[in-house]
Amino acid sequence: MRRDIFQAIADPTRRAILVLIAVQAMTPNAIAENFNSTRQAVSKHLRILTECELVKQEQKGREIYYSLEIDKMKEIDRWLEQFRKIWETRFNQLDDLLSTIKKNKK
C-alpha cells in the first residue's frame, strides 16, 4: 500500500520525529525516548515515514539509524510554495492598503 506524504505529516508525532532526525540520524530507541509512547508505536510511525520515503534507514552494525530524506522534504516544500506566494501577495496588498489609510489620515 502506497501512503500519501501529506497523510504522514498530518500526524503531530510523525512531524516531531522528522524534526528530531533532521538534526542527526537516530535509532528507534533514541527516538522513542523523546515521546510518552511505546517503542512499538514509534516503530509504526517510522514505518509509515519510511513507506512515504520521508526517512531513510541505514544499518550500522547491529543498529538501524533513521535520517531525513531531504529530496522528499523538498517535494513538500515545492507544494507549499504556491501557498507561500499567495499569502505574500495578500500581505503586500494589506501593507499597501494600510499605508494608503495612514496617508489619508494625515
- Average pLDDT of each block of 10 consecutive residues along the chain (106 residues)? 82 96 94 92 95 94 94 87 90 91 85
What is the reported pLDDT for 2? Answer: 66
Same domain, 63 and 75: no
Which pLDDT score is estimated for 93?
A: 92
Q: Domains in the chain: how many in total?
A: 2
- The Cβ-side half-sphere exposure at 56, using a 13 Å CA radius, reads 8
The pLDDT, as a whole number, for residue 105 is 85
Give me the domain span that covers residue 22.
1-68
Give the pLDDT of residue 1. 56
Q: The domain spanning residue 33 has which CATH number?
A: 1.10.10.10
> Residue 15 contacts by C-beta under 8 Å, 6 or more apart in sequence?
9
Are residues 50 and 89 both part of a single domain? no
Q: Is 58 helix (H, G, I), strand (E, B) or coil?
A: strand
pTM equals 0.76
